[in-house]
Structure 1
Amino acid sequence: MRDRPGAGQRGETLLFLTDEHLRKGIEAMFFAYRGFTADPDRILESYSYGRAHHRALHFVHRSPGTTVNNLLGILGVTKQSLNRVLRALIDDGLIESRVGHTDKRERHLYLTERGSDLESALSDAQRARMRAAFRSAGPEAVAGFRAVLEAMMDPEMRRRYLSLSEGGH
């Protein structure tokens, strides 16, 4: 096996799969997530909102008119939990719920102007952090980072992610 070209190199390139490297990757994800959410958390605190509110605002912004059921699938939370979050956002005038045209049982969600303003403030903070990190890491690292994140997604979540990336609901 050593005689094949690249056989020795292959063993060396697999060193990133050691338990120690994986542990470091896991810890980096934990700490990066803390940094990624820190700025929005400070903004949300003034509204007495949490990350679930942020995620709802984000995905309603990304897919105006999305249904409550679609949002349930994206967020992976219980109906009761999502209803609590949506009730607060609707009561506070940040999200509007409209009855479906074809199915009156469906509720379609839209950001109000105030909701759009808050979503922009939250996203601007995260984009600034992400832009700085991307700039620092460079295009090859960014492509690798995205590939790793996509590979970690369950197939259904990857499908939803790709659908959003393509501008779908």
Structure 2
Amino acid sequence: MKLVFIFITVCILSAVGDRLEFGSSPSSFNDMKKEAEAQKSEVAKLKSKGEMEIEFQALKSEVSMLKTQVQHHYGHRLGCKSGTAQLGYSGKRNKSRVQYIPFHGTFHRTPALVVGMTSLDTYRKKNVRIRTTVQHLTRYGFVLKITSWGNSITYNVVYTWMACPK
């Protein structure tokens, strides 16, 4: 009986040929075949690990080159320098005091400079009169000068400064 069943099955398969499909939909085999081919196509588009490594190294080299160019062309705009300066007590009235303040490292050109007074100590029974000027600004540093007049007595002045490339 089994032999007859197998024989009948083989005859039916031979008669139907490649049209024999499994599943509920007559096109499910073709759909699965198309989906498999699409996935093969996507896999073929993917790069190998070696190709990805080569591309990564090329991009890394390009970024390094661009970074060097930016630093070369625009590096002078970077690197502000700042600090504090203290001009201490002078018991003489109407006294000018000067102090040379060097930059820590030089600029390519003379920088822009901002100076602000952060502390001022004067004799409380006298008027406060003080003038601050920047003299001889160069790419290496500057001279800070304070002058008092009238009967002002200045014990201490502290300044904060910032120099940035133009």
> Do the two structures share a fold, i.e. TM-score over 0.5?
no
Between structure 1 and structure 2, the one with the greater Rg is: 2
In which range does the TM-score fall when normalised by the shorter chain?
under 0.3
Q: TM-score, normalised by structure 1?
A: 0.18
Higher strand share: 2
- Structure number with the bigger relative contact order (C-alpha 8 A, sep ≥ 6) is 2
Give 1 or 2: higher helix fraction: 1
TM-score (norm 2): 0.18
